[in-house]
Amino acid sequence: MVFDDRAMKAVLPADVYRSLKKTIDEGAKLDIGVANAVASAMKDWAVAHGATHYTHWFQPLTGITAEKHDSFISPSPDGGVIMEFSGKELIKGEPDASSFPSGGLRATFEARGYTAWDPTSYAFIKENTLCIPTAFCSYSGEALDKKTPLLRSMEAINRQALRILRLFGNDTVKCVRTSVGAEQEYFLITKEMHDRRPDLLFSGRTLFGAKSPKGQEMDDHYFGAIKPRVEAYMKDLNRELWKLGILAKTEHNEVAPAQHELAPIYTTTNIATDNNQLMMEVMQKVAAKHGLVCLLHEKPFEGVNGSGKHNNWSIATDTGVNLLSPGETPHENAQFLLFLCAVIKAVDDYQDLLRISVATAGNDHRLGANEAPPAVVSMFLGDELSAILDAIEADVPYNGTEKKQMRLGVDVLPKFNRDTTDRNRTSPFAFTGNKFEFRMVGSADSIACANIMLNSAVAESLKSYADRLEGAEDFDTAIRELIKKTIKDHKKIIFNGNGYDDAWIKEATEERGLLNYRTTPDCIPHLVDEKNVKMLTAHHVYTETELKARCEILLENYCKTIVIEANTMVTMAKTQILPAVDDYAADVAAAAATKQAFDETLTCGREKKLVRRLSELADLIDERTEELKTATAALGGIEDMKEEAEAIRDGILAKMEALRAACDEAETITAKEYWPYPSYGELLFSVR
């Protein structure tokens, strides 16, 4: 159901196909004649595949995708209808977009937003609708979406990488692109249980819930046999994803009970980003068909591992060479090391942007919680690469070329060379042989932001290298000096040890001076730090106005998310938890009274103690609910977004935790039939 290269080749006239291909591959301008021909063929193809409508499909700053369906049908003069779709309709749309967040970029009187066709991401059919991937911008041209800056960042890295490749004498490469494979983690629970919990319904995570007697401590779920119901889900999911051209390759159980992972085959960053958005949507839809709910939240259950998204990233040429793949010859390896160094420098120079790119209220629960990388950005290179870099820095020959054989201890297994990298699952940014894996991205978030920052930061390193090398007298010496200098200046970002260790955080911040922005309000304002604005505007990824708007929107999203959670807690506590605790206490008290009436020598000490504790907890719950309610209401008086976010971080969060603690204790001493919600144990072990 994808209008991909194969489909295009089959239905487009040869000259139109060639023209379009030039646009896709090399960014050549597209003329309206070609657009008309593509539109017409695309419509015929779509109608033949059952489509009746089309939509410009875009990614506003809400974090999800948006679509507005129009039918192909136009009235014809003879009273009938014809199916029409013009190049103009393909290229440009004008959705009424006044309700999408714009961070003040689009005053309400100028509500118009424009969508513009992105020919580099294939159109596809979803439920009888032809979806055309588009960028979304304001009347005055500011980006209102995530795709526009992503495409700009890809262009930036393309420009700079080409300069470097030319210096290495490569004149054949026309285009350099980044590729991404985003591994997606998620939880599956039954819909029946999900719908009984307002917290899951409104916020996607449990805001209350006592620990289950069994959690993930046995590690018996990880890579374990997949349960039949989950297997049926995965099978169906794969089929739906394959229809949309998303090649889901591996799937396995994750560490936590009910947690799973899906990995697609990597593709161009732009398509990978579109695909990931689509994948999240399809995962939820297919779950509903199976009576399940797919939870994409970063931390659906306290005390249980949360979910992330591993952004596997590499840079490749249109001729199919992965620039992050170590080569066979010294020449190839010089090029590899230069690109590797560009990434090292980028990650160090723009730690803050990488941290910002994954900052959401949900991800704050996960980063640094000993299940995901800490909030401190560092990178893992593995022993061999680190040794190579050390040798270069110290100007000594590298003696480790004899690749270490991995000994398996079993003779029947073939011996094979150890990868240049060993594995480290605790690093935020790990080199895995021919790509980097950025592990800080949250499971519910778009991968666009992470890749925008990564592409831009690496483009900036490459630019500084190209500037230097283009004027160099002796290329080889200049390269060696550049690599040496990069290692010397930036080795503080390289860390091959255990990232979950507290000692690392101390070393990172106190000895190495790495940044540690623990929460979203801590880091977001740095988006508009002078150095960041300078870099991102220099590469035309964002304008300063766009950055300010995004800063505002990110903080606003943080505040809104937590206020919804706080309000949900207040409602749950007042209307369900307190009545349940009261009912149970009253019934226990009544039972004790009955017993004593029956036999006055009975002391009913246990009942009295229980009723007393339940009453105390009820008072505490009531008190803490009131406090939370008052504090949340007071946020309304704060004008400035940054101040509001800080007030939430410094006040509301602790109040939510306190309320939860009292409620969770009450859950552990209230009879099960009184408790209004399915327990953690039931939620986590419900799907079999």
Site residues (vs Mg ion, CB under 5 A): 310
CA atoms of 308 and 369, how far apart (whole Å): 12
Helices (H), 471-541: 475-490, 502-506, 520-523, 530-538
Does the footprint of ligand ADP cover residue 93 (CB under 6 A)? Answer: no
CA distance 338 to 392: 12
- Nearest-angstrom CA–CA distance, 323 and 333: 10
- Stretch of residues binding ligand ADP (CB under 6 A), selected from 98-106, 194-202, 430-438, 601-609: 430-438
264 binds, among Mg ion, ligand ADP, none (CB under 5 to 8 A by kind): ligand ADP
Whole-angstrom distance, CA of residue 364 vs CA of residue 299? 9
Assess 186 for contact with ligand ADP (CB under 6 A): no
Q: Which stretch binds ligand ADP (CB under 6 A): 10-18, 95-103, 179-187, 368-376?
A: 179-187
Q: What's CA 321's distance to the chain center, in Å?
A: 27
Output DSSP code: residue 646: H
Provide the β-strand partners of residue 70: 54
Contacts with ligand ADP in 225-254 (CB under 6 A)?
250
Of 56 and 177, CB closest to ligand ADP:
177
Q: Smaller CB distance to Mg ion: residue 186 or 542? A: 186
> The tokens of 455 are what?
């592409």
Which residues lie across from 67 on neighbouring strands? Answer: 57
Using CB distances below 5 to 8 A depending on partner kind, what does residue 258 bind out of ligand ADP, Mg ion, none? none
322 counts as binding ligand ADP under rule CB under 6 A: yes
- Other CB atoms closer than 10 Å to residue 602's CB: what's the count? 12
Q: Select the residue interacting with ligand ADP from 120, 216, 273, 314 (CB under 6 A).
A: 314
Is 106 in contact with 138 (CB distance < 8 Å)? Answer: yes
Among 118, 145, 155, 183, binds ligand ADP (CB under 6 A): 183
299 or 310, CB closer to Mg ion? 310
In this chain, which of 45, 54, 186, 266 binds ligand ADP, going by CB under 6 A? 266
CB of 437 to Mg ion, least distance (A): 6
Nearer to Mg ion, 433 or 651 (CB): 433
Tell me the two tokens of residue 193.
């249980």
Read out DSSP for 267-299?
A: EEHHHHHHHHHHHHHHHHHHHHHTTEEEE--S-
Pick between residue 321 and residue 387 the one whose CB is nearest to ligand ADP: 321
Residue 296 near residue 194, CB atoms below 8 Å: no
Q: Are strands 53-58 and 129-138 parallel, antiparallel or unpaired?
A: parallel
CB under 6 A: which stretch of 120-128, 259-267, 339-347, 450-458 binds ligand ADP?
Answer: 259-267
Task: Tell me: does residue 103 bind ligand ADP (CB under 6 A).
Answer: no
Tokens of 379: 């990178």
Q: Min. distance of Cβ 271 from ligand ADP in angstroms?
A: 12
Q: How far is the CB of 564 from ligand ADP (least distance, A)?
A: 32
Q: Which stretch binds ligand ADP (CB under 6 A): 263-271, 281-289, 592-600, 623-631?
A: 263-271
Binding segment (CB under 6 A) for ligand ADP, from list 161-169, 178-186, 591-599, 648-656: 178-186
List the Cα angle 609/610/614 in 5-degree steps: 120
Among the residue ranges 139-147, 174-182, 342-350, 578-586, the one whose residues contact ligand ADP (CB under 6 A): 174-182
Q: What number of CA atoms fall less than 13 Å from residue 40's CA on the CB side?
A: 11
CA distance 508 to 374: 11
Kindly state the smallest distance separating residue 64's Cβ from ligand ADP, in Å.
Answer: 22
Map tokens 């995708």 to a residue: 65
Q: Does 153 bind ligand ADP (CB under 6 A)?
A: no
- Give, in order, the Cα–Cα distances in Å from 645 to each of 524, 562, 640, 652: 10, 9, 9, 10
Decide if 179 contacts 325 (C-beta within 8 A).
no
Q: Which is nearer to ligand ADP, 120 or 179 (CB)?
A: 179
Shortest CB 245 distance to ligand ADP, Å: 14
Q: How many CB atoms lie within 10 A of CB 414?
A: 6
| CB closer to ligand ADP out of 55 and 312 | 312
Q: Does 263 bind ligand ADP (CB under 6 A)?
A: yes
Nearer Cβ to Mg ion, position 310 or 629? Answer: 310
Residues 6 or more apart in contact with residue 298 via CB below 8 angstroms: 306, 307, 308, 360, 362, 363, 365, 366, 442, 443, 444, 445
Q: Choose one: 47-55, 307-315, 389-397, 575-583; the region binding ligand ADP (CB under 6 A).
A: 307-315
How many chain residues bind ligand ADP (CB under 6 A)? 16
Residue 265 near which of ligand ADP, Mg ion, none (CB within 5-8 Å, type-dependent)? ligand ADP
Q: Which residue has the tokens 């990868």?
A: 419
382 scored as a contact of ligand ADP (CB under 6 A): no
Listed residue (429, 297, 454, 273) closest to 363, CA to CA: 297
Which of 266, 517 has the CB closer to ligand ADP? 266
Q: How far is the CB of 280 from Mg ion (least distance, A)?
A: 18
Range in contact with ligand ADP (rule: CB under 6 A) among 198-206, 308-316, 524-532, 622-630? 308-316
CB 256 within 8 A of CB 187: yes
Collapsing DSSP to helix, strand or coil, 314 comes out as strand
Q: What are phi and psi of 432, to 5 degrees?
A: -125, 50
- E strands, 202-278, are 248-253, 259-264, 267-268
Which residues are CB-neighbours of 481 under 8 A, at least 6 positions away? Answer: none
State which of residues 180, 462, 652, 683 lies at the interface with ligand ADP (CB under 6 A): 180
In the bound state, the residue with its beta carbon closest to Mg ion is 310
Asked whether position 432 contacts ligand ADP by CB under 6 A, the answer is yes
Instruction: Select the span of 180-188, 473-481, 504-512, 524-532 touching ligand ADP (CB under 6 A).
Output: 180-188
Nearer to ligand ADP, 250 or 477 (CB): 250
Q: Toward Mg ion, which CB reaches closer, 134 or 363?
A: 363
Choose which of 43, 435, 550, 624 interacts with ligand ADP (CB under 6 A). Answer: 435
Name which of 128 and 250 has its Cβ closer to ligand ADP: 250
Could you tell me which residues come within 8 angstroms of residue 503 by beta carbon, excluding any fewer than 6 positions away? none
Binding residues for ligand ADP, per CB under 6 A? 179-181, 183, 250, 263-266, 312-314, 322, 432, 434-435
